[in-house]
Amino acid sequence: MPELPEVETIRRGLERHIVGKAIVGVELRFEKIFSGKVEDVIGAKIMSIRRFGKGLVIDLSNGFSITAHVKMTGQFVYFGEDRKNFHPNLSLPTDLPNKHTHVIFTLNSPAERHAGKPEAHPGSDPGQDRLTKGFLFYNDIRKFGWLKVVKTDEVFRQPFFKGLGPEPFSTLTLPLFKKIVLKSSLPIKILLMDQRKMSGIGNIYANDALYASRIDPRRKGNELTKLEQKVLYTAVLEVLTKGLELGGASENTYIQVDGGKGSYQDHFLVYGKNGKKCLRCGNLIERIKQGGRSTFYCPTCQS
DNA sequence: CCAGCAGCCTGTGCGC
DNA sequence: TGCGCACAGGCTGCTG
């Protein structure tokens, strides 16, 4: 369930593992999830990785970018030349590529010409894999995610990027948050998850932020008090920060670029806890449907 | 314009 | 054991 913390963790992993390398090959195993031209990325060097909401942008040296959205089950995993993963405690795919691998990028490092140079501290440099060849796998069990090659200066012409609301850690200020909430008669939980109103928040963090704020997820945005608006804003940033610190929530298929897992799933406040005791009052957490999705809340604490 | 909902997919876990 | 079904959930595109 990649949301902002998970996607940002992926972004950081890609930044560490693939920036500086050149794309020397692309194997498309399932064409439907890929659009744009493969030729436009061949030979280009990877310059930077950006994230907007839950979307990723891999900027290349030739004026093109690979935009991507992993939706629910997409994974970017970087393996070294020996096709072994970098994470020491890897517990997920060791068999890549597997039947869920839809794209394989072969990467080559320009730094290879220095291969004969001895390392000052062999094995101790966290960026050492930048000096190796490798493979970047895009896996996606449910095939909801997509990769699209576009010109870098046209990234924001895409409907997805064009329509994104403000970012929780930068452009979504408290005054703006208050304004957005005040203007909407949507249930506050639906509002938090609306990527056009504000970006990056999905089901897990929306549930937990509302629980932390003691606000009933069914309340309308424009019916929140000024205090509740502020408390909720703070809670949103807090749960996202916590998720980020823990490397995201690996409850299902989400893994990091090096194959490691996040641990926010061990710190859920209310998400997925229906029938279990509320951490605050001990009464039972309930599950309801909002917009076709599960909402978890404590009927006693959240009013 | 907005709200609501089906569709896209596969794996998992449940009841019978 | 296995079948059918609900569920997971982000986003698009359609309808009213």
Return all residues near A3 (Cβ < 8 A) that are at least 6 apart.
A54, A200, A201, A202, A203, A204, A205, A243
> Residue closest to B9, CA→C1'?
A142
Does strand B come within 7 Å of the CB of A185?
yes
A193 touches strand B (CB under 7 A): no
**Mean pLDDT to the nearest integer, A121-147:** 71
pLDDT score of A152 more than 80: yes
Measured in whole angstroms, the distance separating CA A197 from the mean position of its chain's CA atoms is 18
Please identify which of the residues A2, A5, A93, A97 carries the catalytic annotation.
Answer: A2
- The number of helices, as runs of H, and strands, as runs of E, in chain A is 6, 11
Q: Which residue has the higher pLDDT, A122 or A75?
A: A75
* C-alpha span between A138 and A258 (Å, rounded): 13
- Does nucleic acid strand B have an atom less than 7 angstroms from the CB of A291? yes
pLDDT at A93: 53
Above 60 in pLDDT, residue A129?
no
Say yes or no to pLDDT of A262 above 50. Answer: yes
Q: Is A148 a catalytic residue?
A: no
pTM (predicted TM-score): 0.90
Q: pLDDT: is A254 or A293 the higher one?
A: A293
Catalytic residue among A11, A21, A51, A54: A54
pLDDT at A146 over 50: yes
What confidence category does residue A126 fall into, taking pLDDT thresholds of 50, 70 and 90? very low
- Please write the tens of the pLDDT for every residue from A83-111: 566 665 554 455 678 888 999 999 998 65
**What whole-number distance in Å separates Cα of residue A120 and Cα of residue A122?**
6
When pLDDT is averaged across residues A118-136 and rounded to a whole number, the result is 56
Predicted confidence (pLDDT) at residue A27 exceeds the cutoff of 80: yes
pLDDT at A62 > cutoff 90: yes
- Measured from the CB, is A186 under 7 Å from any atom of strand B? yes
Name all domains of chain A by residue range, CATH numbers in brackets. Answer: 4-162 (3.20.190.10), 174-297 (1.10.8.50)
Active site residue A3: yes
